Structures are given as structure tokens and as C-alpha cells.
Amino acid sequence: MSFPPLNPADESFAARLPAGVLRPVEPRYLEERRGLFRGQAGLLAAPRDVEEVAAILRAANEARVGVVPYGGGTGLVGGQVSPDGPAPLVLSLERMTAIRGVYPAENVIVAEAGAVLADVQAAAEAAERLFPLSLGAEGSCRIGGNLSTNAGGVNVLRYGNTRELTLGLEAVLPDGSVWHGLKRLRKDNTGYDLRGLMIGAEGTLGVITAASLRLFPRPARTGAALVVVESPAAALDLLALAGARIGPGVSAFELISGQGMRFLAETGCAARAPLDPIPDWAVLIDLGLGPVDDPQAALAALYEEAEAAGLVSGGVIAQSEAQRAGLWAMREQIPEANKRIGAISSHDISLPLSAIPDFIPAARSAVTRLGAFRINAFGHLGDGNLHFNVFPPEGRARDAYGPELRERVATAIYDVVAGFGGSFSAEHGVGRLKVDDLERYGDPARLAAMRAIKAALDPNGIMNPGAVLRRADS
Amino acid sequence: MSFPPLNPADESFAARLPAGVLRPVEPRYLEERRGLFRGQAGLLAAPRDVEEVAAILRAANEARVGVVPYGGGTGLVGGQVSPDGPAPLVLSLERMTAIRGVYPAENVIVAEAGAVLADVQAAAEAAERLFPLSLGAEGSCRIGGNLSTNAGGVNVLRYGNTRELTLGLEAVLPDGSVWHGLKRLRKDNTGYDLRGLMIGAEGTLGVITAASLRLFPRPARTGAALVVVESPAAALDLLALAGARIGPGVSAFELISGQGMRFLAETGCAARAPLDPIPDWAVLIDLGLGPVDDPQAALAALYEEAEAAGLVSGGVIAQSEAQRAGLWAMREQIPEANKRIGAISSHDISLPLSAIPDFIPAARSAVTRLGAFRINAFGHLGDGNLHFNVFPPEGRARDAYGPELRERVATAIYDVVAGFGGSFSAEHGVGRLKVDDLERYGDPARLAAMRAIKAALDPNGIMNPGAVLRRADS
């Protein structure tokens, strides 16, 4: 897995690529949102179809040129930028954006990897169906990136992660062979789950070029409530009660911290939580029900029962779709508020649900031992997925804190996560940011199996070198 | 991947196994239900814990002894019996039957691979939860076998296949290393999906020893109806209508053919369809709803709307849990009736939902060109999964038909399946029965990737040799 001196700028390599796909890589492809990595200048290839992707990988594999697949560039762990090693070829799927087919009777859509997530959602809606993957970056992330990172988002509780939403794939393997696997089948037990393996591999095992994805009936009636809970433990009891009373109609269950709501005000974000005073904890519950159900009544009944059980104390039930959208806007602006405050470090973690009430104070203590910080713990509680982000105290800026402290904070948090049987990356992936963490916290037998699979499918190590697994030569 | 002369009867091999695990293999471990394969006499190992499984695989890997993992023995494609090649060691998980933990607040259960499916269901029920995997063999199949074959069953429509029900695994890899992956997390994006890869690998990549599995709230109220439909096309329209009106409350949607209902009477099965006259097609719909919903009213409203649309013409709505159980008993006895009639060949296939109306007559024509047969096409229509079984005409026995005809019938059907973008194995797996079919119908790039993964994880080819992938030396 070593790189000979050839690189994408090498003319003999460029000459073997399909005409019209190469161009110099513009700076925006080399940046990532948090500024943790910066990619190297070089060349970008933007193929128009799967055959061109195949030709590019074949040439790259022969020339031992690294290839970094690029979707919408919204990843948060540096999977899309290669800061070191020989300069790779950036492979952007931006010209493969077609919706190849919508099959409402089957609840299936087939989309090319470059399609923007919001466009896939819109194509489903035009057919009176729901594609439930939904996350903050949906206006710019591409479905190929969602697939490669097994994206989560706000509707996992009800509909699953991207892997569970995918029926089939078309993908190019590192040797340039094309797997034509765009089946539209709910059941297909004919050998190893290559679909599941490519999803979440972050471009290290090949390039996904298209996918057949599950659609759902659109819930006929929707509703939302923002309710005050005393603690994360009470929020979990409320989740269980909602499951028992409303069942699969609960489409999202988001924990929101007082710190997060205060950040919205502090940073001048337009959205605010309609709660006064700001409580320590709140939960945003979203429902999607059938045509004969009344979401407001269901939420009111849930609230009443939860109040009698001492789980909730106040809050609002959206009385209109506009009010529901307002609650979601508040939830979705919290990452923007976080960004304006400036986190010292951000952690996308998951835990067994019942561990969360003990985890939060334990992690807070571990961080507090390193200094006085503000913590915003929020996220997809229904999935056991918290975003546990650490900020300077009021009046100090993140620039005052160096990378060593960031490292110590991360290790302190991940050690607590590991102690509770959790994961140091719930939905963002490993990328380049968490390669060390995977080595530290990953199961050794599983890591060995991952390395064996990588070596078997990509013996020359051309695919997204240095992401997920350390490069053999580094 | 070749076998030296060592085999499990070899004393030096036996001496390296944990004390008390070995015994001669009894005949029942060498038979499979349809009598298509017969295993070879030899030794059986029944380990008591994961460390013993690890010691066995380590010894087998060093001695190049084949290992055939054995669950409940109910598989239908010969994955559990090795009829040729050097006699393997049968590895039965029958002593690892513990429910290691039930976590109602998390909706998780952790079970060892040898636990019988019905016992896992019962442990969930004792905690007022539902483990939704349900299939005919649930009283004797073991969860490890369900995992290794990614079992489907009647509730896939609502809850997914076994893979979707699994959060984490403990497994022993072919070199004897143990992957401790019993996480109880809904989201964990830390590298390749080894969980999904081991599930459905049919014991060819290692041995699953335990799993953490998803539980669900038990539906508060259930209901079922058996309704007459004119055609599979009408059944699909009814499925879409049920999805729009009742949403995720539809837990099963089974197509039943007139031929199947007549087989019940012809073979003297106790269960009968409460329909007179027996129609060409019927659908069994099952609902699981919340506490404030009325399943009988929902089914009546659905029926009324479907009748107005010309989709249904008669049928029954169960008025009690006993009547619901009676409808299900009828459905579940159809395989027994099939067995008594004696199929020439049985086919577990899946299709894109919208292809089914055209597929059934096309496959019927293809079979009819080979002779006069009776066809029972039935199964999990909601998942696009049909059991398409071919029987002799009345008065003739299956013994009159040889294996060449069986082969021609299978090929005729699978060619039609492939033409419609379907699968030759929806839920039963590949085993040894369908190795040729996988080579014929499988995507070449995917097959190459599967072989590379097999060689990488099991370089000595000890795990379930000859299942899924042909042995290198055969």
C-alpha cells in the first residue's frame, strides 16, 4: 500500500482519464467546515456516468494514485479532504445528479450519488411519498456522501439510518469493476452484505454511484411539542411513555439543553425556544400520524399522563404547521449558535439509552476536571445519540485553547463514553479526525477484520487513503 | 484453501479442543428437512461459552479442519450439512442458550446464539416487549441460525429482516479471535459494517455467538382479516391503500393462493380458510395498533374503501384474538400442506413489488412449457417475497419427477425472476443448494468482492466449506 511518485498531475495518468472530466481543484474542495483539515492542491475529476467513474478508478489503480471521493463537502470528520501523503485526485460526483426513477407503488426511488439530499426529498414528495433522511445540511449534502457516511439525522428513531433506508447500490470497486446492484428488493439473501459494507465505508472501499432507496407513505397529519423535563432521566421515561402510547408515530425525539437555548439568545440567532424561563432541559417531540389521528390530541394526552407521572412541567404544543416549523427551526439553529460561540471540541457520541442519565454528569465531571467550560449536550435522544460539545466560559474565545487541551477534553469524554459501552462516533463517521480514536477504542478483532477487508478490496490502497484506517506507509 | 488429510477424527486435533465439548455426531445433525443433502459422519463440538468457540476455531484453523456451524437445523438450503469434501467438525451452539440480559428501557435483548427463537420472543414478552422476528420454525430454530441466514418471516414489512433487528454481535472469527461487539447502540458509525457482513454470511466468515437485538413496544391492540382479491395486482393496490390509511400499523400482508387453500383440504390439514367458495387469491392482513385505536374498525373502513374501488369482494375480519390466531394457523399450515403434497421444486424468490402482477403469469407460462403442474404461489407480498412452489398434477407423486426436471423448472423460474430484477433467494439464503444459482445470476463484481472477503477473513477456508461460495478445490 505504498505510493510510487506518480500523482494526478502526472501527464501520463491524466491522459488515461476520460476526456473532459479533469480540472484543477478549486479551493472550496480543499476546505472543511470546522477548519480542522486542509486538502492539497491538485486535480479534480467530475465524471458524468458510472463508466467514467470506472475508467477513472481503473487508471488510478494502475497508477497507484489516491482518490478522494467528494460529495457535498459537509462532512464533519475530514473524510473528504486529504491533508497529507501524495496529492490525491479529488473525485466529485457533482455531475451525476439524476433521479433515475421513482416507483411510488414500490415505495422506492433510485438516485445518483451526486443528487443533493433535498432534491431526493423533493422528488419523493412530488410522488406523494416521504424520503425520511433529514439533517441540517440537507440543502447541500449529496446522497452519495450520506450513503458513504451512513448518515443519521432527526428521523432515525422511526425510519433508521441511511443503511436501513437503502435497498441496492451501484458502485465502482477500487479495481474499476462495476457492481450493478440497484435492486429494488426488500429481501435478497444471496450472499454477503456488500451493500451494508459499502455504506459507511467513507469512500475507502470504492465509489457509490447510485442507490435505490426506500420511500414511505407521507404521514397524513403531523404535530410537535416542546416540553420541559427535569432531567435526561425524565426525558427517557417520557420517550418510553410516548412509545407505549403513540408507537411508531413518534418520528423524532430531540433533547435540548438550557445551555443550547441560551446560546441562541447570546449569539443573536433569530430562532428562540418559546419557554420562559429557559429550563435546564427540554424535549422536542415530533409525530407523524395517519389521517384519522389527531396529533395535537395525542400530544395533549401524552403531556397529561406525563405530567401526572411528574415527568414534564410546562411547554408548548404546536397549534399549526407554522408553529411546528418554528420549533424545528429553533432545534436546527442550535448548531449555528454553537458555531458562533465557537466550540473547543465537539463530540458526536452514542450510548445505550439507559446509560444516558449517568453519562451526562460523569462526562461533565471529567471535563470540569480540565477547566471551567460550558457544555451543550443535545441531540437525538431517541437514538441514544448526543452531541456533547464543550465551549469556553462566557467572555473567553476558543482561540485561547490549544490543540493539546482539545485532545485532553476529547480523551476524557471518550473514556467515559467507552466505560458506558458507547460509541465515539454515532453518526458523523471516522474520517481522518477519529482514526486515532478508532485505534484506541475499537475492538482489536474487528479492526483486524476491517484491515483485512480493506487490503482485499483495495490492495493498492488508492481509495480515500488515510480515512478510517491509517495508511500503511504512515 | 485446500484441506490436508487431517480431519476432526484425527486425535491430535481432538486433543487440542476444550475438554468435554466433543462427541460423535448423531444422525439428526446430518439430515435436513427436504432431504436434499446428507452430511457426513464425524464429530460434533458443543462449546459452552465464547472462549470455547474461540479455542475450537483456533485449533480447526491450525489443523485446516472444516467447521460447519449448526443452529436449529431448520434451514432449507443445506447450509447446515456438508455432504462432500473432507468430513468437517459440526459446531453446535445448543449449549449457549442464555438470555444474557433484557433492557426494556432501551428496547434491547442480548441473547446467545443457541437460544431458540421462541425463547427469545418469550423473554421479550416477559418484559412487556416484542421481539418481532416470527417464522414457521420459531419453536426449534436458534437465533444464531436466524442471524447467519438473515431470516425474514412474516413481520419484515413492519420491522425489517434479522439484520435490521440486530444492534451488535459477539462473534469468533476464523482465526479464533473474538470480536466483542455486543453494543446496545442505535447509531455507531465507527468503521465497516462487520455486523451486517457476518449476518447473512451463513457461517462462512465466522461463528456468531451472541447478539444484541432490538425490541419494540407490544402493539396494544391487534387485528386481522382475510379478504378475497381478484388478482395479485388488486392485492398490491390494497397494500398501498393500507399503507396510506393505516401506515406502520400494518404488520403483515400475506398473499394466499386458491391452490394453497385447496391443498389444506386435500391433505387433511386441520386449518381451513373460512371462505366459500375458495377464491383464486386472498390476502391475510395483520394489524398492530396503539391503545386508542380500534383494529376491527380500521379493517372495516379499509375493506369498505377497497370494495368501493373494486379491489376486494368478500372475506372475514377476525372478531376475537382466537379468530385471528385461526387465520394465522391457516397461513402457517400451508407449508405443511405443501410438504404433504410433495413439491417438485420450491422457490423462495423476491421481486420489485410492481413486477409481481406480471411475474406470476410469466413464471406460470415458463413452468407450463415444461409440463402440467400445479403451482402454489404465496407468501410475504408486502415484502415482494413469494414462495413459488411447483407440484405434480393431482394423482401423481413427486417421485415420478427426476432431478433434471427439477433443475429445468428452477432455471425456468429463476430466468423469469432475473428478467424482472428479482432475487432467487429472498429469505432462505444460498447454502449449498443455490451455489450454482449465485454464480449464474449474481453480479460478477459483487461475486469477486465476496470471494476476496472470504479469502481475507478465512484464508484457510475452514468456515462452512462449500456453502455460499464454491470451495476453491472443488
A442 band by pLDDT with thresholds 50, 70 and 90: very high
- Picking from B157, B187, B194 by the largest number of A CB atoms within 10 A of its own CB, the best residue to mutate is B187
> Which value does ipTM take for this structure?
0.95
Distinct helix (H) and strand (E) counts, chain A: 14, 18
- Span B155-179, average pLDDT: 97
Q: What is the mean pLDDT of chain A?
A: 95
Look at A290 and B246 and tell me if their CB atoms are within 8 Å.
yes
A315 band by pLDDT with thresholds 50, 70 and 90: very high
**Cell digits of residue A263:** 446560546
Which of 62-121 (B) contact A at CB < 8 A? 103, 105-108
B7 band by pLDDT with thresholds 50, 70 and 90: low
Residue among A77, A150, A85 nearest A434 (CA): A77
- Length of chain B counted residue by residue: 474
- Span B169-191, average pLDDT: 98
- Span A302-306, average pLDDT: 98
Query: pLDDT at residue B155 above 70?
Result: yes
Query: pLDDT at residue B221 above 50?
Result: yes
Distinct helix (H) and strand (E) counts, chain B: 14, 18
Helix ranges (H only) for A48-137 are: 50-63, 117-126
Q: Which residue type is seen at A228?
A: V
pLDDT attached to residue B293: 85
As a CATH number, domain B99-217 is 3.30.465.10
Residue among B157, B221, B146, B208 nearest B182 (CA): B208
Helix ranges (H only) for A140-294 are: 143-148, 156-159, 194-198, 232-246, 258-266
- Length of chain A counted residue by residue: 474
pLDDT attached to residue A71: 98
Look at B457 and A449 and tell me if their CB atoms are within 8 Å.
yes
Residue B424: its chain A contacts at CB < 8 A? 190
Domain B99-217 shares a fold with domain B221-419 = no
pLDDT attached to residue A9: 56
Task: State residue B464 phi and psi, 5-degree precision.
Answer: 45, 60
Name the residue with cell 414528495. Answer: A125
A7 band by pLDDT with thresholds 50, 70 and 90: low
A10 band by pLDDT with thresholds 50, 70 and 90: low
Nearest to B445 among A173, A196, A199 (CB): A173
Nearest to B150 among A189, A383, A449 (CB): A189
pLDDT attached to residue B472: 77
Q: Quick one: DSSP state of residue B28? A: G
Binning chain A into helix, strand and coil, the percentages to the nearest 5 are: 35, 20, 40
Task: Chain B: give the shortest CA distance to residue A114, in Å.
Answer: 22
Which of 162-221 (B) contact A at CB < 8 A? 163-164, 173, 177-181, 183-197, 199-201, 205, 217, 219-220
Q: Quick one: DSSP state of residue B5? A: S
Beta-sheet pairing, B67-70 with B89-92: parallel
Look at B199 and A190 and tell me if their CB atoms are within 8 Å.
no
pLDDT digits (tens, 9 = 90+) for B61-105: 999 999 999 999 999 999 999 999 999 999 999 999 999 999 999
- Span B446-452, average pLDDT: 98
Query: pLDDT at residue B10 above 80?
Result: no
Query: pLDDT at residue B463 above 60?
Result: yes
What stretch of H or E contains B102?
A: strand B99-103
- Span A202-206, average pLDDT: 98
Task: Chain A: give the shortest CA distance to residue B267, in Å.
Answer: 30
Which of 329-388 (A) contact B at CB < 8 A? 350-354, 380, 383-385
pLDDT digits (tens, 9 = 90+) for A17-74: 999 999 999 999 999 988 889 999 889 999 999 999 999 999 999 999 999 999 999 9
Task: Chain B: give the shortest CA distance to residue A405, in Å.
Answer: 23
- Picking from A149, A157, A161, A189 by the largest number of B CB atoms within 10 A of its own CB, the best residue to mutate is A189
CATH fit for domain A221-419, picks 3.30.70.2190, 3.30.565.10, 3.40.50.11810, 3.40.190.10: 3.30.70.2190
pLDDT attached to residue A4: 40
Task: Chain A: give the shortest CA distance to residue B394, in Å.
Answer: 32
Beta-sheet pairing, B281-289 with B250-257: antiparallel
Domain ranges of chain B: 99-217, 221-419
Query: pLDDT at residue A105 above 60?
Result: yes
Look at A189 and B428 and tell me if their CB atoms are within 8 Å.
yes
Look at B187 and A289 and tell me if their CB atoms are within 8 Å.
no
Query: pLDDT at residue B197 above 70?
Result: yes
pLDDT attached to residue A3: 36
Residue B146: its chain A contacts at CB < 8 A? none
Query: pLDDT at residue B8 above 70?
Result: no
- Span B403-423, average pLDDT: 96
Count interface pairs A-B at CB distance under 8 A.
284
A174 band by pLDDT with thresholds 50, 70 and 90: very high
pLDDT attached to residue B6: 46
* More confident call, B307 vs B473: B307
Q: How far apart are CA A4 and CA A18, in angstroms?
A: 22
Which of 384-403 (B) contact A at CB < 8 A? 384-385
- Span B320-349, average pLDDT: 95
pLDDT attached to residue A472: 77
Q: Where are the beta strands (DSSP E) in B242-335?
A: 250-257, 281-289, 312-317
Q: How far apart are CA A121 and CA A128, in angstroms?
A: 10
Look at B244 and A217 and tell me if their CB atoms are within 8 Å.
yes
Per DSSP, the three-state class of B95 is: coil
Look at B180 and A443 and tell me if their CB atoms are within 8 Å.
yes
Percent of chain A at pLDDT above 70? 97
Nearest to A245 among B195, B291, B426 (CB): B291
* Contacts for A94 with CB less than 8 Å, ≥ 6 apart: A46, A70, A114, A142
pLDDT digits (tens, 9 = 90+) for B122-149: 999 999 999 999 998 999 999 999 999 9
Answer for the pair B186, B108: CB distance below 8 angstroms, yes or no: no
Task: Chain B: give the shortest CA distance to residue A34, in Å.
Answer: 19
